[in-house]
């Protein structure tokens, strides 16, 4: 049975156009100016239809940390935020380091997820054969923690990384890297030992730590030419290095992302939010946030991804040193960015490119990312005039909080459609 979305402004061919859309068997089968007949219809008068968001960086915490998030709660959070596809990170328990781990996680998510999904495999310096085996089974990307982070040891041996980069080039895999330099972090930690305020985090995991790691990674990539993706870029120095690399010999293979919390918050927010915005890499001073914003608008930053990393409020209330790093965000990414577009702070086309089109292109989601005949029916219906306020108590993530709590937004995700299935 087909479903028609009628009388809407749909984002097709790079702009909003008055269209009617027919969905059949999970696919977009017709886009027309004329009325389309079907047994089921959703009248979208006054609404806009957009591609569903693709969040290429989430931590849904399964297996091992289901008390923080699971595929039911994570899916609900994604759906209510207009995200239809997620890519989950490997730092679970056990970590995703083998083909068996990868396939077990797929089986687990397949039973509980209501959104499209895939998984990164982690690199521990000695599991190249497992990564190669998974590449035959559809693996898209490998995650490297160049600097240590939550549940992950740093892997900064350049000889081992060179072997991974060579394999990735051969197999067409994206190598996504958490780029921070452990030696710089250790030096800063020793120097600032004794301080207890959360804003210490921006001084320990500073822009130098990020820039040192990115410089080493880009130098290696420039020799090999593999697909290298810098995750959660957080500093002006880091961005400048990526911009320069994009102009180099293998620049087309270098991409980067920024999170909404790095894009919209700076270190002044520690005073109010404390450990709630403790994350790796850290949220940095205003000059870094402004550089990231300008880079986003200028298309120097490829995609927006959330690094959705839920922890409990009890964990976040611990003293700074003991509180875990991570910020939930899959539920608020699209609403925050749509609000900026509807308030004319950035073009809607830039938001769609960064949240939908480019993630699909970079990570090879060939049937997603756009509203086009023949592609998957992963869509969101948005009321562009309706305002709402982000409220902790209304969130679906198990974390139950957002650093954007209390922020009033324009543009409400009324319905989310995943593979033709309507939610909302």
Active-site residue set:
307
Which residue has tokens 């969101």? Answer: 380
In angstroms, the Cα distances linking 85 to 79, 198, 211, 416 are: 9, 33, 30, 11
Exposure letters 12-34 (e unless 16+ CB within 10 A, then b): beeebeebbbbbeeebbebbeee
Q: What is the DSSP string of 170-197?
A: HHT-EEEEE---HHHHHHHHHHTTT---
Report whether 293 contacts 236 (CB < 8 A): no
Which of 180, 178, 156 shows the shortest CA–CA distance to 230? 178
Sequential DSSP letters for 228-262: EEE-S---HHHHHHHHHHHTSTTGGGEEEEE-HHH
| 82 phi, psi to nearest 5 deg | 85, 20
Closest CA to 116 of 363, 381, 384: 363
Q: Which helix (H) or strand (E) holds 121?
A: strand 121-122
Cα of first residue to Cα of last residue in the chain, in angstroms, is 19
The two structure tokens encoding residue 48:
């806009």
């Amino acid at each position: 049975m087909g479903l028609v979305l009628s009388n809407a402004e749909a984002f097709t061919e790079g702009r909003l156009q008055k269209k009617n859309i027919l969905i059949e068997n999970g696919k977009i089968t017709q886009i027309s100016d004329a009325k389309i007949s079907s047994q089921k219809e959703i009248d979208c008068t006054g609404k806009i239809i957009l591609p569903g968001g693709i969040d290429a960086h989430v931590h849904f915490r399964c297996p091992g940390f289901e008390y923080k998030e699971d595929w039911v709660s994570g899916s609900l959070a994604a759906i209510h935020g207009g995200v239809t596809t997620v890519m989950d990170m490997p730092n679970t328990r056990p970590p995703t380091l083998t083909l068996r781990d990868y396939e077990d996680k797929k089986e687990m998510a397949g039973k509980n997820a209501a959104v499209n999904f895939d998984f990164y495999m982690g690199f521990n310096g000695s599991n190249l054969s497992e990564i190669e085996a998974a590449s035959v089974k559809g693996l898209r990307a490998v995650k490297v923690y160049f600097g240590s982070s939550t549940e992950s040891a740093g892997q900064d041996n350049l000889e081992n990384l060179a072997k991974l980069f060579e394999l990735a080039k051969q197999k067409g895999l994206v190598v996504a890297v958490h780029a921070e330099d452990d030696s710089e972090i250790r030096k800063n930690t020793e120097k600032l030992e004794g301080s207890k305020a959360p804003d210490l985090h921006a001084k320990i995991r500073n822009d130098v730590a990020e820039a040192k790691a990115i410089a080493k990674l880009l130098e290696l990539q420039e020799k090999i030419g593999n697909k290298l993706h810098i995750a959660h870029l957080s500093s002006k120095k880091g961005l400048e290095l990526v911009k320069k690399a994009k102009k180099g010999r293998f620049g087309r293979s270098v991409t980067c992302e920024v999170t909404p919390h790095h894009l919209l918050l700076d270190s002044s927010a520690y005073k109010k939010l404390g450990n709630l915005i403790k994350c790796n890499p850290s949220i940095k001073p205003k000059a870094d946030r402004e550089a990231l914003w300008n880079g986003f608008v200028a298309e120097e930053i490829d995609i927006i991804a959330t690094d959705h990393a839920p922890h409990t409020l009890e964990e976040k209330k611990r003293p700074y040193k003991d509180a875990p790093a991570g910020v939930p965000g899959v539920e608020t990414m699209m609403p925050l960015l749509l609000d900026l577009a509807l308030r004319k702070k950035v073009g809607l086309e830039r938001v769609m490119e960064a949240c939908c089109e480019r993630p699909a292109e970079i990570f090879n989601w060939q049937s997603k990312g756009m509203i086009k005949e023949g592609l998957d029916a992963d869509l969101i219906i948005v009321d562009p005039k309706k305002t709402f306020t982000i409220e902790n108590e209304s969130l679906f993530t198990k974390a139950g909080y957002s650093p954007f709590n209390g922020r009033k937004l324009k543009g409400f995700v009324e319905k989310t459609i995943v593979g033709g299935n309507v939610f909302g």
